[in-house]
Amino acid sequence: MLTPILDSGAAMPLYEQLYRHIRGEIEAGRLAAGERLPSKRALAAHLKISVVTVEGAYGQLLAEGYLQSKPKRGFFVQAAESALTEVQLPRLSPPQEATRPTFRYDFSTSAVDTALFPFATWAKLMREVLSQQEDTLLNTPHPQGVPALRQAIAAHLYRFRGIQADPSQIVVGAGSEVLTTLLVQLLGRSGCYGVENPGYTKTHRILRSCGVQVEPISLDSQGLQVDQLDQHGVQVVHVTPSHHFPLGIIMPVTRRQALLRWASAQPQRYILEDDYDSEFRFSGRPIPALQSLDKGERVIYLNTFAKSLAPSLRISYMVLPPHLAERWRREFWFYSSTVPSFEQYALSRFMDRGHFERHLNRTRTHYKARREALLAAARETGLTQVGSFVGGDAGLHLLLWMDRRWKEPELAARAAEVGVGVSPLSICDLTPPPAGRPPALILGYTRVAPQDMAPALSLLKSAWQF
C-alpha cells in the first residue's frame, strides 16, 4: 500500500502532502494506469490520518484527471499520457529589460515637468472619489468613459477649442495607442492610411502593427501635401495640424480646407486630427481645429492629457462624428472602458471645478519661461549664429536647424557624450530625407529648468565647438 512520509508539523496541509506523493507515484509510473487505489477508509487507517484528509487528496487527483472514480468499485489510476514533446528553444538567460538612457539635461519630448503636477489637489479629489464608495465607481464603467468626464471634456473643448461635441460622440481611452487601435477596428483595414513624413513615427508603427497599409506623405511649408493623398490611394490620414511634430508647422486655413475637401470627396475617407499639444500656444488665439471646420463628418479629433497633466495618467480621448459614434455603439459596445473609473471621476471633478484651466495657465507660463530661457541661452552662447530655431509659437518643443557643416547623428552623439539629450530630426523620418536637408535637432524643453538652459547650452557649445 502507499506509504508516503507525511509530516503533520509541516506548513503544507496533510492532504496536499498525500496528493503530491500519489501524483508523483503516478507520474513516475510506479502506480500504473488502471491500478486500483486503496479505499479512502483503508488508506486513512493505514496512514493513521483522517478520512477527510484522504478525501481531500483523492478529490484533487480526481479533479486533475490523475484518478478516475468508478461507482461502487473505487479509485483507479487514469491512463497516463506519453511525455510531452519538448520544443527546444534557446533559453534566454537572463531576460534583459531595455533601459532608456538618462541625461544630465534631457531635451526629450516624451516627458513633462512633474514638479508642476497638482499633487495636493489630485490627492484630495481621489480621496473624495474614493470616499463616496459608490457602486458605480467599481463596476464596469460606460464603454465610452464615465458620462461626467465626457461632459467635462465636451465643455472644455467648446470653451477652449471652439469644438462642438456632444458627450455621446466622445470615447475616453488609455492613451492614443489604444484609441488608434480601436479606430483601425472601426474604420477597417482595407483602405490605406496616410501619415505625415517626417512625423510621429509611433503612429506609423501602431498602424502597421494593426495590420494596415501605411503610406508616408511628405510635407511642404504649409504641412501635409494634400495632393499626394490621392496619388498614394490614402483613405484615412493622420495629421497634427495645430503644431506639426516635429517641424512645428501650423497648418493654415487654406490647407485645412483643401484637406477637408479631399476627405469629403469619398464617403469612406476620414481625417484623424491629432491635437496633441494644442493647449500650449504662446501667442495669439488657437487656430480653429479641423473638427470645427468640418461640415461632412469626416474628422475624428484626438487629444490626450499626457502633455497637459501627466503621461502616466494614461487618459486620452477622441471625438467621433455622429454617424461613427453611432456605429461605435452598435459594433463596439462589448469593449470595456480602458481607463480606471477612479481616474475618470477624479479628472471630471478636476475639470468641473476649474482646476484644469488653472493648471494649464500655470503650466503654460512655466513652459514659456523655459522656452525663453532656452532661446536667450542660445543667443548668448552663439548657437543662433550657427543654427536657427523654428516652431516656437506653440507646443512644447523647438526644432533647431543647424549649419550644414555638421552631420545630424554626430551632433546628437556628441551632445549625449557631454550629458545633453537631444534627438536628431531623422528619428521622425519614415523614408530617407530629401538630399541636402540641413541637419536638425528636436529640443523638448519641459524637463530642463530655466536656470539650467545656459549650462546645458554651454555643454553643447563645447561638444559641437561652435
Please pick, from the candidates 250, 377, 399, 440, the single residue that binds its own copies as defined by CB under 8 A. Answer: 250
Segment lying near its own copies (by CB under 8 A), choices 39-47, 105-113, 384-392, 434-442: 105-113
Q: Is 311 a binder of its own copies (CB under 8 A)?
A: yes
Q: Which long-range contacts (CB under 8 A, 24 or more apart) does 228-233 make?
A: 228/194, 229/194, 229/262, 230/262, 232/192, 232/194, 233/192
d(CA 318, CA 151): 13
Q: Is 7 a binder of its own copies (CB under 8 A)?
A: no
Minimum distance from residue 328 beta carbon to its own copies (Å): 10
Nearer to its own copies by C-beta: 204 or 414?
204
Minimum distance from residue 315 beta carbon to its own copies (Å): 8
Segment lying near its own copies (by CB under 8 A), choices 151-159, 312-320, 365-373, 376-384: 312-320
C-alpha cell at 56: 481531500
Segment lying near its own copies (by CB under 8 A), choices 306-314, 358-366, 423-431, 433-441: 306-314
C-alpha cell at 306: 499626457
Please pick, from the candidates 323, 353, 358, 404, the single residue that binds its own copies as defined by CB under 8 A. Answer: 323
Beta strands across the sheet bearing 270-274: 170-173, 316-319, 299-304, 270-274, 234-239, 192-197, 214-220, 223-224
| Region 18-77 residues binding its own copies, contact defined as CB under 8 A | 19, 56, 59-60, 63-66
What is the C-alpha end-to-end distance of the chain, expressed in Å?
Answer: 89
Segment lying near its own copies (by CB under 8 A), choices 46-54, 108-116, 225-233, 376-384: 108-116
| Region 110-149 residues binding its own copies, contact defined as CB under 8 A | 110-112, 114, 117, 119, 122-123, 126-127, 130-131, 133, 135, 137-142, 144, 147
Nearer to its own copies by C-beta: 33 or 45?
33
Cβ-based burial of 70 (10 A; exposed 0-12, middle 13-18, buried ≥19): exposed
Q: Is 252 a binder of its own copies (CB under 8 A)?
A: yes
Minimum distance from residue 227 beta carbon to its own copies (Å): 14
Segment lying near its own copies (by CB under 8 A), choices 69-77, 181-189, 350-358, 380-388: 181-189
198 upstream amide cis, omega within 30 of 0: yes
Q: Is 332 a binder of its own copies (CB under 8 A)?
A: yes
d(CA 424, CA 407): 10
Is there a contact between 259 and 226 (Cβ–Cβ < 8 Å)?
A: yes
Nearest residue to 342 (alpha-carbon basis) of 166, 167, 129: 129
d(CA 351, CA 353): 5
Q: Which parts of 90-176 are beta strand (E)? A: 105-106, 170-173
d(CA 397, CA 379): 17
Beta strands across the sheet bearing 397-402: 387-390, 397-402, 440-444, 423-424
- Give the number of other Cβ atoms within 10 Å of residue 5's Cβ: 6
- Give the single-character DSSP code of 281: B
Q: Is 451 a binder of its own copies (CB under 8 A)?
A: no
| Region 271-290 residues binding its own copies, contact defined as CB under 8 A | 283-285, 287-288
| Region 202-241 residues binding its own copies, contact defined as CB under 8 A | 202, 205-206, 209-211, 222
C-alpha cell at 9: 508539523
Please pick, from the candidates 5, 101, 102, 333, the single residue that binds its own copies as defined by CB under 8 A. Answer: 333
Nearer to its own copies by C-beta: 21 or 202?
202
* CA 311 to chain CA centroid, nearest Å: 9
Nearer to its own copies by C-beta: 331 or 410?
331
Please pick, from the candidates 96, 102, 221, 465, the single residue that binds its own copies as defined by CB under 8 A. Answer: 96
Segment lying near its own copies (by CB under 8 A), choices 213-221, 255-263, 399-407, 434-442: 255-263
Nearer to its own copies by C-beta: 213 or 458?
213
C-alpha cell at 282: 504662446
Segment lying near its own copies (by CB under 8 A), choices 37-45, 331-339, 437-445, 449-457: 331-339
d(CA 306, CA 279): 11
